[in-house]
Chain A
Amino acid sequence: MNKKDIAVNKLKSLGDIILEDVHQNNVPAIKVPSRGTSNIVYDTEKRYYVLGDRYGKRSLGNVKQISKIAQMVYVANFCKDLVRRNKTATLREMYYVSEGWDVDFGDQQESNIVGEDLEVTLGMTREDLGLMPEEDGASVYGKITMQEDDVEINALRSGKSGYTISPTIDDVKFLEHDVKRVIAVETMGMFHRMVQEEAYKKFDTLIVGLKGQAARATRRFLKRVNEELDLPVYIMNDGDPWGFHIAMVIISGSAKLAHVNHQLATPDARFLGVTASDIINYDLPTDPLKDIDVLRLKELSKDPRYKDEHWQVEIKKMLKIGKKAEQQSFSKYGLEYVVDTYLPEKLDSME
């Protein structure tokens, strides 16, 4: 069965649950997995956050829950229609469409939450259901050819800014590639630096510009190239707690999206830098850690995703030196240094 049929069937089953109860003269109820913090657990086997097995029951007989169920069946019908017609809509569009429904959403936030409820209830991502995030994904540059509908795209021939990862990245097919790895970088500044220095040739790599915290589509892309094309993924970010965490969300998923991390997390992706050790070893220009950085580092050190020794050592080291550095700080030694010296050394040590 293809993804479209799976989605349609799952949505139909939601209607069936309700009708079945009505046929038996029972008050219909829907089980909605709980997204409360107590139900989000780090799965050490899978190496990402997953939802636990706790759930809440939404009953038609409860005055507070009934309108949530009404909203949910409307959203489900809306999604079924989207999937059937091969269309997508943004959450905002859905919010406006809901004006014509017999149930109200107080604001868009409320309709977003119902969208998430549907995701967790059916165990599907919102992209599976035809609901798209607002933002585009990031950029990819390198030797890979993809097919979007009937258009073939070569990421090396999409201009200097590369191919923009579409929110519907799941519908994109990977046709062929000629790379050995993927290097994702936090800023578009570093992305352009690497394109200019022809890093994609030197390292046989795809270059992915994350544009800060990676969008769902970007994370989905990284997971797919990792799993489907068997390419190792490296992440190069700023040497500060925020850079660490952008990498970690790609690797181990976020707690907030625990219900879809199985589609988003790339547990085998690796952090390339900048680490505290890099700051010392390369004698990089730094900024002092702010109070908030220190606080965040201490939080990270207790986070189960950072429990392995490498992370613990780097976090401690950064706290000890009290300094942070950006990826661009290698420019101290010239614009080419990061590609000519740092990356080869770093990749060597990691491979």
Chain B
Amino acid sequence: MEREAAELFEEFKELTASEFFRRNKQMLGFSGKIRSLTMVFHELITNSLDAAEEAGILPEIKIDLKRLDKDHYILRHTDNGPGIPEPFITKVFSTMFAGSKFRNIQSRGQQGLGCSGCVLLSQMTTGKPAKVISGYQEGDRLKGVEMTFKMDVKTNKGLVLERKDVEVQSTGVSIELHFKDVSYSLSEQGAYEYIRRTMIANPHTKITFRDPTGHKYIFNRAADIIPPLPKEVLPHPKGVTADDLIFMAKHTDKRRFRSLLTSNLSRMSTKRVNEIQGITGIDLNKRPKDMKWEEAEQIVETFAKMDFMAPPTSGLIPIGKEQIEKGIREILNPEFVATTTRKPKTFRGGVSFIIEAGISYGGDSGRMVGEQRKAEIMRFANRVPLAFDQGSCAITEALKSVDWKRYGIRDLDNAPITVFVNIVSTNVPYLSTGKQSVAPEPDILHEVRQATMKIARSMQKYIRAKKAAKEEEMRSKIFESLVPVIIREAAVLAEKDVPEYDVVLAKVTRRSNYEGVVQDE
């Protein structure tokens, strides 16, 4: 029996973002027990850092992870940020795709579904509601509210179960979530390591972490400068599509298309607009809404052929070589550290990025494998540690391609070093939805190599000087122990008194490179 179309479409439903991610939680990074917990830490820490920095507050985070049962944990995460006004609490924690970051701006956060993703995971694995205490300034008053809520995936909204006013001492948000199907691990991909790395890239942060065994780790602030907030930058002509132009045309208040171009794109001067008009023959004085799709396509093709200045880099905020050094010194306590922040470059013709790198040697550098220290690579994108998918990442690939032997590292895998690389960009080219590895763009590979090789050279100098000093010391020791012995034995041999030999000893130790006239041997 044939069925009518309408009948077939009876079951046709709209899927909310929450419902979609409930079914595809791996797309939020929640795959595997260790990884899931690390992603929760990532989302909560990132949000706290962003919020505190935006409010001009030096971030301080307290995390308390308790284990109730095998695979069942309760996590309390508290920050000292500006807090969340009551009406926005459920939006932040229960609505997917809500946020302020859908702009061309460098950000730690990624899709803007971070915190709600954590609540979703908690609810999916334990059925327990989330509890949030938010302290925030309202006018002259410090307001505190405590809320217990669930996420309604059908509507992509929070469902408040309880609310009450509470006394708070300061602004900030505290959230308590239950999780099952997660696992705390000290491995490279684990939550602890995630915090440690975050501290290196964010030395202005203080994190106190109590782990499931009750051990309290205090990661102190190594710097007290709040990083400047990244600015939004206009898109670069090389980075726009015909669709982008049509979209801009629809949503502009400009009366002419030419002024739309100059005000909505970077590096676009009246002179360049005239050139485009000359090449395409399109009348750019027309009203934006009269722009045809074909014409937009023609303009984009022309952009591709033209040379533009690289996009402005004012929107890129690197950590800075001094800050990276402070972070590394605080966390890795190394013998030697070298850092560098490269000048901005672009990839794919128009996306700007900055590579920063640090190398630390000795101390707690490298990771302990059994009794031996092995090299570790710490990858970051906009200060956020990339803990997974190391293999396919541009940073790993670039580092592996460096000829480490030239820098005195015979075997990279087994050297006691940590190599730190951060890529700063408004548009980091991630390889996959997990956003844990950077696409191996040739320009990025090149910059990572240049940055690493530069600091590796300083490290090589250090290692060499250290080795030379050690040899020098060893030589002195040999002379100091053997010269008296030889002179004493020579005196016994000659059957005479032991002469004064201070001058000779001084000569020998000072001129340790003194070589006799060796004609042979």
Contacts and interface: CB of A to CB of B under 8 A. Distances in A.
B515 interface: yes
A70 B499 contact: no
Given A22-B504, A27-B514, A62-B514, A34 B494 contact: no
The main secondary structure of chain B at its interface with chain A is helix
Given A22-B501, A65-B516, A15 B507 contact: no
Given A73-B486, A73-B490, A80-B493, A67 B520 contact: no
Nearest to A57: B516
A11 interface: yes
B268 interface: no
Contact of A70 (B482, B492, B496, B508): B482
B17 interface: no
Nearest to B501: A22
A60 B490 contact: no
B512 A55 contact: no
A227 interface: no
Contacts of A55: 519-520
B308 interface: no
Contacts of B142: none
B482 to A, nearest CB: 5
A12 B489 CA distance: 11
Interface string B392-426: 00000000000000000000000000000000000
B491 interface: yes
Contact of A63 (B491, B496, B512): B512
A222 interface: no
A12 B495 contact: yes
A59 B514 contact: yes
Given A18-B486, A22-B499, A61 B520 contact: no
Interface string A1-41: 00000000001111110110111011111000010100100
A82 interface: no
B479 interface: yes
Contacts of B515: 59, 61-62
Given A59-B516, A73-B486, A15 B521 contact: no
B520 A39 contact: yes
A304 interface: no
A77 interface: yes
B504 A28 contact: yes
A74 interface: yes
B186 interface: no
A54 interface: yes
Interface residues of B, number: 34
Contact of B520 (A26, A34, A76, A103): A34
Contacts, number: 124
A69 interface: yes
A102 to B, nearest CB: 5
Contact of B485 (A23, A58, A103): A103
Contacts of B500: 22
B516 A58 contact: yes
Contacts of B485: 70, 102-103
Interface residues of A, number: 41
Contacts of B226: none
A270 to B, nearest CB: 36
Given A23-B499, A25-B504, A25-B507, A57 B518 contact: yes
B179 to A, nearest CB: 62
A63 B474 CA distance: 9
A74 B486 CA distance: 8
Contacts of B501: 22
Contacts of A77: 489, 492-493
B369 interface: no
Given A60-B508, A66-B483, A16 B516 contact: no
A21 to B, nearest CB: 8
A19 B496 contact: yes
Contact of B493 (A15, A22, A28, A70): A15
Interface in B468-511: 475, 478-479, 481-483, 485-487, 489-496, 499-501, 503-504, 507-508, 511
Contacts of A74: 489
Nearest to A58: B516
Contacts of B1: none
B517 interface: yes
Contact of A61 (B489, B490, B514): B514
Among B481, B492, B493, B520, the most chain A Cβ lie within 10 Å of the Cβ of: B493
Given A66-B478, A70-B485, A102-B485, A19 B519 contact: no
A123 to B, nearest CB: 17
Contacts of B475: 63
A74 B490 CA distance: 8
B521 A56 contact: yes
A34 B520 CA distance: 7
Among B475, B489, B507, the most chain A Cβ lie within 10 Å of the Cβ of: B489
19 contacts: A12-B495, A15-B493, A15-B494, A15-B495, A16-B496, A19-B487, A25-B507, A26-B504, A28-B487, A29-B516, A34-B519, A34-B520, A54-B520, A57-B516, A57-B517, A69-B486, A73-B486, A77-B489, A103-B485
Interface of B: 475, 478-479, 481-483, 485-487, 489-496, 499-501, 503-504, 507-508, 511-512, 514-521
Given A23-B499, A77-B492, 5 more contacts: A15-B495, A21-B504, A27-B507, A59-B515, A67-B482
* Leading 7 A-B pairs by shortest Cβ distance: A15-B493, A59-B516, A15-B494, A61-B514, A34-B520, A18-B490, A57-B516
